Amino acid sequence: MPEGRVAAVMIHVADREAALDWYRQAFPQATRREVNGFTLLDVGGISLEPVVADGKVSSGAAGTVVYWHTDDFAAELERLQRLGASLYRGPLAIEHGQQMCQVRDPWGNLLGLRG
């Protein structure tokens, strides 16, 4: 793996299995993998790792947001909303005729979308 590349995104949720199912639908290209007894989703070489929220890290909108690229912004935003994501911020026009927005997953975590 190249130095400085995103390796994993940890998502804090109340229900790991429900989150694995939801994110598998959100990222249909993802491959479900088991690593040392831990289930994760591989999305283009990035590990998407739902973990149970606790007293140290809760679920919800705060801090860093990971943005995922899409070639069809409007269609992808609509698809995520059909899965139960709610629009949180945007869409906003950005460089090169692209747009960006943030949606909330069913646990309140933010998922960024650019394209």
My answer on whether omega of the bond before 2 falls inside 30° of 0, hence cis, is: no
Residues 41 and 9 in one domain: yes
Dihedral of CA atoms 86, 87, 88, 89 in degrees, nearest 10, equals 170
Residues 41 and 74 in one domain: no
Separation CA 11–CA 16 (nearest Å): 9
Residues 36 and 72 in one domain: no
Separation CA 68–CA 89 (nearest Å): 15
For 4-55, the pLDDT digits (tens) are 788 999 999 999 999 999 999 999 999 999 999 999 999 999 999 999 999 9
For 49-101, the pLDDT digits (tens) are 999 999 999 998 888 899 999 999 999 999 999 999 999 999 999 999 999 99
Residues 80 and 110 in one domain: yes
CATH code of the domain covering residue 70: 3.10.180.10
Residues 112 and 65 in one domain: yes
Range of the domain at 69: 61-115
Number of neighbouring beta carbons within 10 Å of residue 17:
10
Sign of CA dihedral 91, 79, 48, 16: positive
Residues 68 and 22 in one domain: no
Residues 1 and 34 in one domain: yes
Number of structural domains (the chain) is 2
pTM value is 0.88
Q: Residues 50, 42: contact at Cβ < 8 Å?
A: no
Residues 11 and 40 in one domain: yes
Mean pLDDT of all residues belonging to the chain: 94
CATH code of the domain covering residue 33: 3.30.720
Q: Which helix (H) or strand (E) holds 53?
A: none
